[in-house]
A and B are shown apart, each in its own frame.
Chain A
Amino acid sequence: MLLREVEYARPASVQEAVRLLSENDGARALAGGQTLINVMKARAASPDVLIDLNDLDELKGIDLGSDGTVSIGAMVTYSEILDSAEARARPILAEVCAQIADVQVRNRGTIGGNVCSNDPTNHLPPLMVSLGATMTIVGQDGERSVSAEEFFLGVYMTAAGPGELLTKISVPPGKSDGFASISIGKDGTCIVNAAASVNGGARVAIGCVDAVPVLLQTESTDAAAVRDAVRNANLVPPSDVHASADYRRHLAAVVAVRAVAQAKGKH
């Protein structure tokens, strides 16, 4: 398909990328392009300028800190997470990335692109919230850190504003995590998903039911307690061709219980 006319730059440093994003009206960062190029075809997004991040080696590494924190550059692809010894310190990262779409998409799609597009059906926003990840954002005024809970602001909206760039995601240590979803076909778009981390109680983040992941915290990790927490959250999920709001609300409890059970199994 012929895209609308667009201008393009491929900067060699984060500093230059931030400058280009700030100075050009209608500029958008192009990461793996597995969402953005498609929504440009559909004219659902029409950036005037694409700032291609693919030469930014500063955003491509995965580091394992001495305290067990896994720091992942925003331009790390799902496939790179699958192959990374460092990312294995928090096994759920690779387990979830293996469920995203297909080989081709995993080879190009990036962790930063996934969270910054913040499509409510994406896998990684709820996962980052349940894990208590920290996002590092760089702008012309310098660098700041935002918790995953504060990062996701609305459908397609995050704390990384115009002229800013997500550079790094830091995931604290742990291994008692789970992820469950009901998707359209195996590894397809999620109808409902939930990520859970168990540490005494449970942190459960449910996706696809609101503009941003819904975080629930329970003291007990029993199925009944998790189910009650989901019910008491009074979710108002969207209805669409794949599931009615009622059915999505039902599934939200199902996937939350499954995700917590999976997390408990890894104690």
Chain B
Amino acid sequence: MEVVSRKTITMTVNGESYEREVDARRLLIHFLRDDLDLTGSHIGCDTGNCGACSVLVDGVLVKSCMLLAIQADGAKIETVEGLAQDGELTALQQAFSDHHGLQCGYCTPGMLMSATALLRSNAHPNDEEIRKAIQGNICRCTGYVNIVAAIKAAAE
């Protein structure tokens, strides 16, 4: 095995297969947004603090600004674009709308992915578990109260 600075990678994103050549230095978030035009995942801080870029990689919640695209070669990625099916919101997305779990909406894609990961592993989380699960997602509008209420409602 030798080192490479560029490589053709394949990735399944929201059920669709993609093949692209990428620089080794390319972050996964840039690959999703700029190469695949999937701009639902946001870049908030670009320092690993805000969680707006959160996606699921092989079912594991990660911040896509702290992973290289080349590291996700062969992986199955889920982003916010993959949640609603045929225009039908998931129960979680609907709950965010019903409970005003967003204002500006910038953090929402990451919040939804963190909450999706939580509800898959814990179908009925309590408030404390919800707050711990979205600890890596910063919202500067809501004060989190309605986000927690939305996630709780979606679990019921």
Docked pose: A105 CA to B2 CA in angstroms: 29
In the complex the two chains form, is B5's CB within 8 Å of A8's CB? yes
B62 within 8 A of A: yes
In the complex the two chains form, is B47's CB within 8 Å of A38's CB? yes
Which of B21-29, B80-88, B98-106, B142-150 sits within the interface? B21-29
Docked pose: A107 CA to B118 CA in angstroms: 13
Taking the closest CB of chain A, its distance from the CB of B90, in whole angstroms, is 19
Which one, A9, A102, A108, contacts B67 given CB within 8 A?
A108
Docked pose: A54 CA to B114 CA in angstroms: 23
In the complex the two chains form, is B23's CB within 8 Å of A5's CB? yes
In the complex the two chains form, is B61's CB within 8 Å of A103's CB? yes
Taking the closest CB of chain A, its distance from the CB of B58, in whole angstroms, is 11
Docked pose: A11 CA to B1 CA in angstroms: 7
In the complex the two chains form, is B66's CB within 8 Å of A103's CB? no
A52 within 8 A of B: yes
Residue of A nearest to B47 (CB): A38
Residue of B nearest to A7 (CB): B3
Q: Which of B66, B67, B132 has the most CB of A within 10 A?
A: B66
Question: A107 to chain B: which residues have CB within 8 Å?
Answer: 60-62
If over half of B's interface residues share one DSSP class (helix, strand or loop), that class is named, otherwise mixed; here it is mixed
Docked pose: A107 CA to B55 CA in angstroms: 12
In the complex the two chains form, is A49's CB within 8 Å of B3's CB? yes
Docked pose: A118 CA to B132 CA in angstroms: 26
Docked pose: A38 CA to B49 CA in angstroms: 10
Q: Are A54 and B60 CB-contacts (below 8 A) given A5-B5, A7-B3?
A: no
A173 within 8 A of B: no
In the complex the two chains form, is A16's CB within 8 Å of B1's CB? yes
In the complex the two chains form, is A33's CB within 8 Å of B47's CB? no
What is the total number of residues of chain B having a CB less than 8 Å from a CB of chain A?
34
In the complex the two chains form, is B24's CB within 8 Å of A7's CB? yes
Taking the closest CB of chain A, its distance from the CB of B75, in whole angstroms, is 11
A3 within 8 A of B: yes
Within 8 A of A (CB), among B56-85: 60-63, 65-68, 70-71
A242 within 8 A of B: no
Docked pose: A37 CA to B152 CA in angstroms: 34
Taking the closest CB of chain A, its distance from the CB of B128, in whole angstroms, is 12
In the complex the two chains form, is B3's CB within 8 Å of A102's CB? no
Question: A20 to chain B: which residues have CB within 8 Å?
Answer: 1, 3
Question: B68 to chain A: which residues have CB within 8 Å?
Answer: 8, 33, 37, 50
Docked pose: A28 CA to B23 CA in angstroms: 18
Q: Are A103 and B5 CB-contacts (below 8 A) given A8-B68, A34-B48, A37-B67?
A: no
Question: B54 to chain A: which residues have CB within 8 Å?
Answer: 104
Q: Are A41 and B47 CB-contacts (below 8 A) given A5-B25, A8-B68?
A: yes
In the complex the two chains form, is B135's CB within 8 Å of A7's CB? no
Question: A108 to chain B: which residues have CB within 8 Å?
Answer: 60, 62-63, 66-67
In the complex the two chains form, is B3's CB within 8 Å of A103's CB? no
A231 within 8 A of B: no
In the complex the two chains form, is A34's CB within 8 Å of B51's CB? no
Docked pose: A34 CA to B71 CA in angstroms: 13
In the complex the two chains form, is A9's CB within 8 Å of B1's CB? yes
A236 within 8 A of B: no
B136 within 8 A of A: yes
Which A residues lie at the B interface, using CB under 8 A? 1-12, 16, 20, 24, 30, 33-34, 37-38, 41, 49-50, 52, 54, 101-105, 107-108, 186-187
Extra contacts, 9 of them, besides A5-B25, A108-B60 (Cβ < 8 A), are A6-B25, A8-B3, A11-B1, A30-B71, A104-B61, A105-B66, A107-B62, A108-B63, A187-B135
6 contacts between A and B (CB under 8 A): A6-B5, A7-B3, A8-B5, A20-B3, A37-B48, A101-B136
